[in-house]
Amino acid sequence: MSTLECRELHFLLDSAGAIIAFQEKDQSWAGALAFSTEENARRFAQQSRLEVAEIAAVALDDRASIAGLVAAMKRRPIRYVLLDLDYQSGKCRQVDFEGEDFGAVTERQFEARHSHD
Protein backbone atom coordinates (compact mmCIF):
# COMPACT_ATOMS: atom_id res chain seq x y z
CA MET A 1 0.00 0.00 0.00
CA SER A 2 1.03 3.58 -0.56
CA THR A 3 3.16 5.31 2.01
CA LEU A 4 2.19 8.82 0.98
CA GLU A 5 2.69 11.00 4.01
CA CYS A 6 0.47 13.93 3.04
CA ARG A 7 -3.23 14.68 3.13
CA GLU A 8 -3.56 16.00 -0.40
CA LEU A 9 -1.73 16.22 -3.69
CA HIS A 10 -1.26 19.48 -5.57
CA PHE A 11 -1.20 19.05 -9.35
CA LEU A 12 0.10 21.62 -11.84
CA LEU A 13 -2.39 22.45 -14.60
CA ASP A 14 -1.74 24.12 -17.94
CA SER A 15 -3.92 26.84 -19.50
CA ALA A 16 -6.28 24.18 -20.92
CA GLY A 17 -6.78 22.62 -17.49
CA ALA A 18 -4.70 19.51 -18.25
CA ILE A 19 -2.33 18.01 -15.69
CA ILE A 20 1.28 18.82 -16.52
CA ALA A 21 3.41 15.70 -16.94
CA PHE A 22 7.12 15.02 -17.31
CA GLN A 23 8.32 12.56 -19.94
CA GLU A 24 11.85 11.20 -19.76
CA LYS A 25 13.90 11.14 -22.93
CA ASP A 26 13.34 7.95 -24.96
CA GLN A 27 10.45 6.81 -22.73
CA SER A 28 6.91 6.18 -23.92
CA TRP A 29 5.32 6.90 -20.52
CA ALA A 30 5.14 10.12 -18.54
CA GLY A 31 4.68 11.04 -14.89
CA ALA A 32 2.21 13.64 -13.65
CA LEU A 33 3.85 16.36 -11.58
CA ALA A 34 2.33 16.56 -8.10
CA PHE A 35 3.44 18.07 -4.83
CA SER A 36 2.67 17.42 -1.17
CA THR A 37 2.16 21.14 -0.50
CA GLU A 38 1.04 24.12 -2.55
CA GLU A 39 4.28 25.86 -1.57
CA ASN A 40 6.35 23.06 -3.15
CA ALA A 41 4.24 23.28 -6.32
CA ARG A 42 4.72 27.05 -6.58
CA ARG A 43 8.46 26.75 -5.95
CA PHE A 44 8.85 24.17 -8.75
CA ALA A 45 6.83 26.30 -11.19
CA GLN A 46 8.94 29.36 -10.39
CA GLN A 47 12.32 27.60 -10.56
CA SER A 48 11.51 25.72 -13.76
CA ARG A 49 9.88 28.76 -15.38
CA LEU A 50 7.03 26.43 -16.26
CA GLU A 51 3.89 28.17 -17.42
CA VAL A 52 1.38 26.94 -14.87
CA ALA A 53 -2.14 28.31 -15.07
CA GLU A 54 -3.41 26.73 -11.87
CA ILE A 55 -2.59 24.42 -8.98
CA ALA A 56 -5.35 21.96 -8.14
CA ALA A 57 -5.48 20.00 -4.90
CA VAL A 58 -7.05 16.58 -4.41
CA ALA A 59 -7.53 15.12 -0.94
CA LEU A 60 -6.11 11.62 -0.63
CA ASP A 61 -9.10 10.47 1.42
CA ASP A 62 -11.49 11.42 -1.43
CA ARG A 63 -11.54 7.92 -2.93
CA ALA A 64 -13.99 8.77 -5.76
CA SER A 65 -11.92 11.75 -6.93
CA ILE A 66 -8.68 9.75 -6.76
CA ALA A 67 -10.22 6.91 -8.80
CA GLY A 68 -11.49 9.37 -11.43
CA LEU A 69 -8.15 11.17 -11.54
CA VAL A 70 -6.14 7.96 -11.99
CA ALA A 71 -8.53 6.78 -14.71
CA ALA A 72 -8.20 10.11 -16.53
CA MET A 73 -4.40 10.03 -16.35
CA LYS A 74 -4.32 6.44 -17.66
CA ARG A 75 -6.19 7.61 -20.79
CA ARG A 76 -3.11 9.73 -21.48
CA PRO A 77 0.38 8.18 -21.52
CA ILE A 78 0.71 8.88 -17.76
CA ARG A 79 1.55 5.82 -15.67
CA TYR A 80 2.73 7.31 -12.37
CA VAL A 81 2.99 10.49 -10.33
CA LEU A 82 6.29 12.24 -9.70
CA LEU A 83 5.83 13.59 -6.18
CA ASP A 84 7.77 16.64 -5.00
CA LEU A 85 10.20 16.77 -7.93
CA ASP A 86 13.01 19.09 -6.87
CA TYR A 87 14.03 21.19 -9.86
CA GLN A 88 17.58 21.75 -8.60
CA SER A 89 18.52 18.21 -7.55
CA GLY A 90 16.18 16.05 -9.65
CA LYS A 91 15.09 14.06 -6.58
CA CYS A 92 11.49 12.95 -6.16
CA ARG A 93 9.30 9.99 -5.27
CA GLN A 94 7.56 7.96 -7.96
CA VAL A 95 4.05 6.91 -7.01
CA ASP A 96 2.81 4.07 -9.22
CA PHE A 97 -0.82 3.46 -10.06
CA GLU A 98 -2.44 0.33 -8.67
CA GLY A 99 -5.84 -0.15 -10.21
CA GLU A 100 -7.74 3.08 -9.55
CA ASP A 101 -5.54 4.08 -6.63
CA PHE A 102 -1.97 4.99 -5.79
CA GLY A 103 0.39 2.10 -5.12
CA ALA A 104 4.10 1.64 -4.50
CA VAL A 105 6.24 4.68 -3.73
CA THR A 106 9.91 4.60 -4.74
CA GLU A 107 12.70 7.15 -4.63
CA ARG A 108 13.79 8.53 -8.02
CA GLN A 109 16.74 10.62 -9.11
CA PHE A 110 16.68 12.45 -12.43
CA GLU A 111 19.75 14.00 -13.98
CA ALA A 112 19.53 17.78 -13.98
CA ARG A 113 19.36 19.22 -17.50
CA HIS A 114 20.67 22.61 -16.48
CA SER A 115 23.96 23.90 -15.15
CA HIS A 116 24.37 24.80 -11.49
CA ASP A 117 27.20 27.24 -12.31
Residue 2: the pLDDT is 43
pLDDT at 8: 95
Instruction: Write down the pTM of the prediction.
Output: 0.88
Question: What pLDDT, on a 0 to 100 scale, did the predictor assign at position 3?
Answer: 63
- Separation between Cα atoms, residue 46 and residue 75, nearest integer Å: 28
Q: What are phi and psi of 56, to 5 degrees?
A: -115, 130
Look at residue 1 in the predicted model and tell me its pLDDT: 38
Instruction: Please give the pLDDT value at position 112.
Output: 66
- Mark the ranges of the chain whose per-residue pLDDT is less than 50: 1-2, 117
The residues that bridge with 98 in the sheet, in sequence order, are 101
- pLDDT for position 24: 83
Instruction: State the fold for domain 8-109.
Output: Trna Endonuclease; Chain: A, domain 1 (3.40.1350)
pLDDT attached to residue 117: 46
Count CB atoms within 10 A of the CB of residue 4: 17
Contact residues for 57 (Cβ-Cβ < 8 A; gap 6+): 8, 9, 10, 11, 38
